[in-house]
Amino acid sequence: MADDKDVLRDVWFGRIPTCFTLNQDEVTEREAEAYYLLLPRVSYLTLVTDKVKKHFLKVMRAEDVEEMWFEYEGTPLKWHYPIGVLFDLHASNSVLPWSISVHFKNFPDRDLLHCPSSSVIEAHFMSSIKEADALKHKSQVVNDMQKKDHKQLWMGLQNDKFDQFWAMNRKLMEYPTEEGGFRYIPFRIYQAMSDRPFIQKLFRPVSPEGNAYTLGDLLKEMYPAAITNDGEQKRYQVVIHGIEPLLETPLQWLSEHLSHPDNFLHICVVPTPSD
């Protein structure tokens, strides 16, 4: 359907206007100006912020610069989460642009993974794709791909090439017609106020009777409090790529169209803002 293809593009090209300011404790030779950037929702912080680093390095001495890391309102931002997930989880109801603090010292290694090079990002990205395919196809599709095909997925993401990426990714979105969907849906549910990084469990897209499960069915099973019962006030928003899909949306459709390039459906449950 032409409409569904548009959804894929809209998801891929989603952007978040961001303002990067240098943390005031950093030592500079002169005043550092803020740096503005449109961040791709589907990418990763350390992959798209070379310009940010360059910009702030201009006003700093080499000896004051260690690994760059980012923080929002006191929370270190995990580069290995897609940017859109970080925003929806921490800042979805705040005023744009998203204000991120940049640090070059005191790397919080209890909270953040190190990211010494882009090959670390690539390894993490490919690892997610492989895990997603283990769930969807018992790894058959990803294992049948050649190394150059894997590379194409990564290069597509790295260079923001929608067509290059999807030429390969469409294989990961296929399933035998008689099955009605993937074996299991790769998803992760994030909650802002939780110790646990995310909820991820096995969940089939189709019932034994052949009925398609919905987003609501998934939440009822994995996170019942996210669903508002009749008469209750709505306490939580269920956000994917910055929007609240209808709970009646079939999960299989969401997995095929609203997954991130890592092939996971990342779902954020955030408290409804109290105006």
Closest CA relative to residue 202, chosen from 182, 228, 172: 182
Interface region with another protein, contact rule CB under 8 A, candidates 44-52, 61-69, 118-126, 147-155: 118-126
Interface region with another protein, contact rule CB under 8 A, candidates 33-41, 57-65, 116-124, 159-167: 116-124
Question: How many residues sit in the footprint of another protein (CB under 8 A)?
Answer: 35
Least CB distance from residue 8 to another protein, whole Å? 24
User: Residue 80, interface with another protein (CB under 8 A)?
Assistant: yes
Closest CA relative to residue 185, chosen from 89, 120, 249: 249
User: Residue 107, interface with another protein (CB under 8 A)?
Assistant: no
- CB distance 233 to 273 below 8 Å: no
User: Residue 223, interface with another protein (CB under 8 A)?
Assistant: yes
Output phi, psi for 135, to 5 deg.
-75, -40
- For another protein, the binding residue among 134, 173, 212, 247 (CB under 8 A) is 134
User: Residue 203, interface with another protein (CB under 8 A)?
Assistant: no
What distance in Å separates the CA atoms of residue 100 and residue 81, rounded to the nearest whole number?
15
User: Residue 120, interface with another protein (CB under 8 A)?
Assistant: yes
- CB distance 245 to 215 below 8 Å: yes
> 135-164 mask for another protein (x: CB under 8 A)?
x--xxx--x---------------------
User: Residue 109, interface with another protein (CB under 8 A)?
Assistant: yes
Nearer to another protein, 11 or 135 (CB): 135
DSSP string, 206-263: B-TTSPBPBHHHHHHHH-GGGSPPTTSPP-EEEEBTTB---TTSBHHHHHHHS--TTS
Q: Angle at which helices 162-172 and 2-12 pack, to 10 degrees?
A: 120
Residue ranges binding another protein (CB under 8 A): 78, 80, 109-114, 120, 123-124, 127, 131, 134-135, 138-140, 143, 183, 186, 191, 193-198, 200-202, 223-225, 235
